[in-house]
Structure 1
Amino acid sequence: MRTNHQIKVEQQSEDEDKFVFDVSVEGDRSSSHAVTVDKDYYKKLTDGEEPAGNLVKRSFKFLLQREPQSAILSEFNLSLIQEYFSEYESKLKN
């Protein structure tokens, strides 16, 4: 049976090139993650039509459907997901 994960996303900073988020996941265990989202990548996936934090949350839901919570890196750039899961961008694009 799958664990029902609670995902909390908080924006820590933003500059002209990127957003930085702290993400906490509560499930079988607690975990914290530092996630960077390049603005160009954010626009590629969302056309700027949703808050970047929503994209991060949807990305964590995507990951948790495919791997255990313990396998998610503690710090990563969101674009890295595509390297591990080739369907990521097509599933997340608006």
Structure 2
Amino acid sequence: MAQITITLLSGDPDADPQEFQVGVVGEDNTKTTHRVTVSQEQYQKLTGGLRSTEELVKASFEFLLEREATREILQNFDLSQIQKYFPEYEAVISSQLAK
């Protein structure tokens, strides 16, 4: 399984959107770094406020890694963009995290 590390880049944890750096080491030892933004609206929609933003980002990367190779994940994106490529994303993540 891939190793995922998440670092909050926005100094203010209440910033909207929040920005994260995500490091991924794939099963084939491919290393990639990504910048991801998450709006409060997206966070609330997917987690209901029940999980941390970091948990949402990690679950989102796990979702992506089940569907594509590490190097195929965009380097800079907003979490809301995942839905455009994978229509099942919001349903899967919200059912997983909003419990």
1:5 aligns with 2:2: yes
Percent of aligned pairs with the same residue? 45
How far apart, in 2, do the equivalents of 1:21 and 1:85 lie?
A: 21
Match of 1:82 in 2: 83
Aligned CA RMSD, in angstroms, stands at: 1.0
How far the C-alpha of 1:16 sits from its partner, in A, is 4.0
Q: Map Cα deviations across residues 60-92 of structure 1 (whole Å, 9 max, x no partner).
A: 000000011111000000000000000000000
How far apart, in 2, do the equivalents of 1:89 and 1:69 lie?
A: 20
For these two proteins, the number of residue pairs brought into alignment is: 91
Match of 1:30 in 2: 31
TM-score computed with the length of structure 1 as normaliser: 0.92
Match of 1:49 in 2: 50
TM-score computed with the length of structure 2 as normaliser: 0.88
Q: Which runs of 5+ in 1 are unaligned?
A: none
Q: Map Cα deviations across residues 34-74 of structure 1 (whole Å, 9 max, x no partner).
A: 00001111100011111100000000000000011111000
How far apart, in 1, do the equivalents of 2:92 and 2:86 lie?
A: 10
> CA separation of 1:7/1:16 partners in 2, compared to 1, >3 Å: closer, same or farther?
closer
Q: Map Cα deviations across residues 11-31 of structure 1 (whole Å, 9 max, x no partner).
A: 111454211000000122100
> CA separation of 1:43/1:86 partners in 2, compared to 1, >3 Å: closer, same or farther?
same
Match of 2:19 in 1: 20
